[in-house]
Amino acid sequence: MNNDKKIAAEEAVKEIKNGMVVGLGTGSTAYYAIHAVGALVKNGMQLLTVPTSEQTKQMSIELGIPMVDINTIDAIDVTIDGADEFTQNLELIKGGGGALLREKIVASLTKKQIIVADSSKLVGELGKFKVPVEVIPFAKGYVTQQLKTIGGIGLIRTKDGKEYVTDQGNCIIDADFGLIENPAKLDEQINQIVGVVEHGLFIGLADRVIMAKDGETISFSK
């Protein structure tokens, strides 16, 4: 499985050209992409990168990858990130690693969003993986109630016995909607709940998914 993740990530990195601004994702598959980008930099390629989490930022520092403040740029050329689930229509659930807010901001600023995954992440319909919903702490009870009104059973995410806290200081509610027949509609419904900062449905943001299976890559594009 990890070998497939590595193969998919290294295939995606071929899209990177000298002088680009590159978004660096978060998670187990993005890990391999970050290391591959580090090798490009070590070999002399000139790049600026935008990390999607403090974890990715720390990896970039350790690998000597140059970074740029996202607020000083107008666009990102290519972003390479992972997904918890994806469909052949390029609908995604992301946020299992807790970085969904920064990931969506980076994706929204990106000209070409490439998702890398192994074959276990391909589904016919989204929803086996719960939808992460990032909320301000003050609103977590209210948002949990509101998610229930649109068919979601939400649980506050915990880690090591404590409430999980995102890089932005928020909570995450993992919401189970079952299989999601209309992800775009659910996207809109969650966005309308006061107190929601962002959620893990990524609809219309991915340009390409590179999936690796048994050492081979399969590409899904718009």
Torsion (CA) 82, 86, 92, 97 in degrees, nearest 10:
-40
What does the alpha-carbon distance between residue 176 and residue 178 come to, in Å, rounded to a whole number? 6
Q: Which residue has the tokens 């909607």?
A: 177
Q: List the catalytic residue out of 85, 91, 103, 198.
A: 103
Amino acid symbol at 185: K
User: In whole angstroms, what is the distance from residue 25 CA to residue 28 CA?
Assistant: 10
- The dihedral over CA atoms of 131, 92, 12, 60, expressed in degrees to the nearest 10, equals -30
Query: Is 103 a catalytic site residue?
Result: yes
- Geometric angle at alpha carbon 75, from 71 and 80, rounded to 5°: 105
- Compute the residue count for the chain: 222
Residue 49: DSSP 8-state: E
Place of tokens 């390029």: 90
Active-site residues, by number, are 103
